């Protein structure tokens, strides 16, 4: 997928087209409604907090007020917490999948809480159909085409903005044998086989 366009002028135009007008308080207003949102992430995570400050700064330039309200992970992701009850505006977190590209748990409407982890609350027939069809076939070419269709649809609907893909790098002594980092499980998964 191509990256999202960064175009503040177009964002201003679209907001104005939707009826939002700049107020004397530096925020956009539509009638009595002010454009003020809350972003939430986990506490005690410097990367999250720095990302929230960047989001806050960038959106403030457009007249969108962003309040930061972070929670401990066990509260943020609790079944009765803000994410799984839908009581949040914006959430900053990591999306983690396993080795299989099936991500229906994150996007298929069957998994909207309390039935799963579709915490964007996305309900779309195209996404549902593609995730179900992809998970129902072993044909890798067909799965690839279906997941590409799903990704394009999610990008068009925009329930989430994917900011970056984290890559890990490892430094280890050249005498260490059998070290095999794993992308989707703990890097120590085969520590019993390590030799030095």
| pLDDT surpasses 80 at 59 | yes
Whether 185 is covered by a domain: the verdict is no
| pLDDT surpasses 90 at 129 | yes
Alpha-carbon separation of residue 123 from 105, 109, 156 (angstroms): 12, 5, 14
| Distance from chain centroid for Cα 80 | 20
pLDDT of residue 3: 80
Question: Domain check: are 63 and 50 in the same one?
Answer: yes
Q: What range does the domain containing 58 cover?
A: 22-94
Question: Taking residues 94-112, what's their average pLDDT?
Answer: 86
Whether 4 is covered by a domain: the verdict is no
Question: Taking residues 77-105, what's their average pLDDT?
Answer: 88
Whether 7 is covered by a domain: the verdict is no
Alpha-carbon separation of residue 35 from 5, 22, 27, 87 (angstroms): 22, 10, 6, 17
pTM value is 0.79
pLDDT of residue 181: 83
Q: Are 149 and 130 contacting, i.e. CB atoms less than 8 angstroms apart?
A: yes
| pLDDT surpasses 80 at 155 | yes
| pLDDT surpasses 90 at 183 | no
pLDDT of residue 31: 94
pLDDT band at 118 (very low <50, low <70, confident <90, very high): very high
pLDDT over 90 percentage in the chain: 75
Q: Are 26 and 63 contacting, i.e. CB atoms less than 8 angstroms apart?
A: yes
Own/partner contacts of 16-21, CB < 8 Å, gap of 24 or more, are 20/63
Question: Domain check: are 32 and 80 in the same one?
Answer: yes
Whether 31 is covered by a domain: the verdict is yes
pLDDT band at 127 (very low <50, low <70, confident <90, very high): very high
| pLDDT surpasses 80 at 95 | no
pLDDT band at 62 (very low <50, low <70, confident <90, very high): very high
């Amino acid at each position: 997928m191509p990256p999202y366009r960064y175009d503040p002028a177009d964002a201003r135009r679209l907001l104005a087209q939707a009826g939002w007008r700049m107020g004397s308080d530096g925020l956009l207003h539509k009638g009595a409604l002010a454009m003020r949102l809350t972003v939430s992430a986990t506490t005690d995570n410097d990367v999250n907090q720095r990302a929230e400050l960047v989001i806050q700064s960038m959106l403030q330039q457009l007249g969108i007020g962003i309040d930061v309200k972070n929670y401990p992970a066990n509260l943020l992701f609790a079944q009765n917490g803000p994410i799984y009850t839908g009581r949040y505006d914006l959430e900053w977190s990591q999306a983690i999948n396993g080795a299989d590209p099936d991500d229906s748990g994150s996007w298929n409407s069957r998994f909207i809480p309390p039935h799963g982890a579709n915490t964007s609350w996305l309900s779309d027939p195209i996404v549902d159909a593609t995730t179900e069809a992809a998970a129902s076939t072993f044909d890798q070419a067909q799965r690839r085409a279906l997941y590409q269709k799903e990704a394009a649809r999610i990008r068009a609907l925009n329930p989430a903005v994917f900011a970056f893909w984290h890559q890990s790098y490892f430094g280890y002594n050249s005498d260490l044998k059998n070290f095999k980092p794993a992308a989707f499980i703990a890097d120590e998964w085969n520590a019993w086989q390590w030799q030095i």
